Amino acid sequence: MAKEIILGIDLGTTNSVVSYLQADGKVKVIPNPEGTNTTPSAVAFKANGEEIVGNAAKRQAVTNPDTVLSIKRKMGTSEKINVKCIKKDFTPQEISAKVLAYMKKYAEDNVGQAIKKAVITVPAYFNDAQRQATSNPGVTPALFVA
Partner 1 sequence: MEKELKPEKKKDVKAEEEGKDKEPRSFRHKLEVKEAEIEKWKADANHWKNEYYRGYADTQNLRKALERELGEGLKYRAEGFVAELLPILDGFYFALAMEPANPEIKNYLVGFQYIYQNLLAVLEKEGVKEIAPKEGDPFDVRTMHATEAEEREGQPNLVVRVLNKGYKLKDRLIRPANVVVSKAKAAEVKKEEDGATNKEDGVKKDA
Q: Which parts of this chain interact with partner 1 (CB under 8 A)? A: 1-3, 22-24, 34-35, 52, 56, 59-63, 111-113
- What residues contact 95, with CB distance under 8 A and at least 6 apart? 43, 68, 71, 81
Tell me the C-alpha distance between 53 and 95, whole Å. 10
To partner 1, the closest distance from the beta carbon of 71 in angstroms equals 19
Q: How far is the CB of 137 from partner 1 (least distance, A)?
A: 27
Q: What is the 3-state secondary structure (H, E, C) of 73-142?
A: HHCCCCCCEEEHHHCEEECHHHHHHHHHHHHHHHHHHHHCCCCCEEEECCCCCCCHHHHHHHHCCCCCCC
Report the residue number, 87 or 124, with the smaller CB distance to partner 1.
87
Up-side HSE of residue 95: CA atoms within 13 Å toward CB? 31
Residue (82 or 113) nearer to partner 1, CB: 113
Q: Which CB, 108 or 126, lies closer to partner 1?
A: 108
Task: Give the shortest CB-120-to-partner 1 separation in angstroms.
Answer: 23
Would you say 112 or 138 has its CB closer to partner 1?
Answer: 112
Rounded to a whole number of angstroms, the minimum distance from the CB of residue 112 to partner 1 is: 7
